[in-house]
Amino acid sequence: MIYEELGLLVPKTRSEKNYRKYCISQKKIADEISILKGLGFSLEDIKRIFVLKGGKTKSIKSMLLIQKERIINKIKRDKEQLNNLNELIKGKYSVLSPSEQKSIILNILSEKILSLNEEDLIECTKQIPAEDYIMTVAMVDETARNKMFSILSDRARELVKNDLNVFFKKYGKHWS
């Protein structure tokens, strides 16, 4: 047992089968170890406290104050981590940079467009306002863009190309 190795709680005797036997007076020591462990002290710190118990109350008090400061600092760190998690959950900031987020979204959008048959794609695009359709066509990868173009009539294709040119001139440096 590690308590025995550190000299914290050494059994008074051992049985014939080498079981540890403690006396009633050692219960107080076991209780103190349990309380100090519950307060977050390491076994090495507990050993120092027991060594200092020989009337040096100031030393024990200073160790208790140090432990209190450790716990306060841990609570501060934990609160900060909790706040960061809450911010992530609320979507206020992300582990991913904006360009990484955009890249992931565009890849998913491109994959979805490519997975749709022509009829479903036409049905989906009917739900998209013209400006958003232009933005979507501008942002997805070339294969998805070509598929989106393929469902348009010749006249609509020309209008979309013109609008894309305007879009790229206006937003070109912001969108890839």
What pLDDT was estimated at residue 149?
73
Q: What would the pLDDT profile of 82-130 be if each residue is shown by its tens digit?
A: 877 777 667 655 666 777 767 777 777 778 778 877 777 777 777 677 6
Return all residues near 33 (Cβ < 8 A) that are at least 6 apart: 3, 8, 9, 46
| Per-residue model confidence as pLDDT tens digits over 139-149 | 777 788 778 77
Residue 143 maps to a domain: yes
pLDDT confidence bin for 55, thresholds 50/70/90:
very low
Last residue of a domain, one of 37, 68, 90: 90
Structurally, the chain folds into a number of domains equal to 2
Asked whether residue 176 is assigned to any structural domain, the reply reads: no
pLDDT at 57 over 60: no
Strand partners, 13: 21
Give the pLDDT score at 175: 41
Is the domain of 16 the same as that of 83?
yes
Residues 86 and 6 in one domain: yes
Residues of the domain holding 46? 2-90
Percent of the chain with pLDDT over 90: 1
Do 121 and 144 lie in one domain? The reply is yes
What residues contact 81, with CB distance under 8 A and at least 6 apart?
none
In terms of Cα–Cα distance, which of 30, 10, 6 is closest to 20?
Answer: 10
Token pair of 48 as six digits = 């120092």
pLDDT band at 172 (very low <50, low <70, confident <90, very high): low
What is the domain-level CATH number for residue 66? 1.10.1660.10
What integer is the mean pLDDT of 2-9? Answer: 83
- Give yes or no: residues 117 and 162 share one domain: yes
Answer with the one of 62, 90, 118 that is the final residue of a domain.
Answer: 90
Helices marked H in the chain? 2-5, 26-38, 43-52, 57-90, 98-115, 118-126, 130-139, 142-150, 154-171
Domain match, 79 and 133 both: no
Q: How far apart are CA 82 and CA 101, in angstroms?
A: 23
Instruction: Quote the pLDDT of residue 173.
Output: 43
pLDDT tens digit sequence for 152-169: 766 676 766 776 666 666
Answer with the one of 52, 70, 90 that is the final residue of a domain.
Answer: 90
**154 & 76 share domain:** no
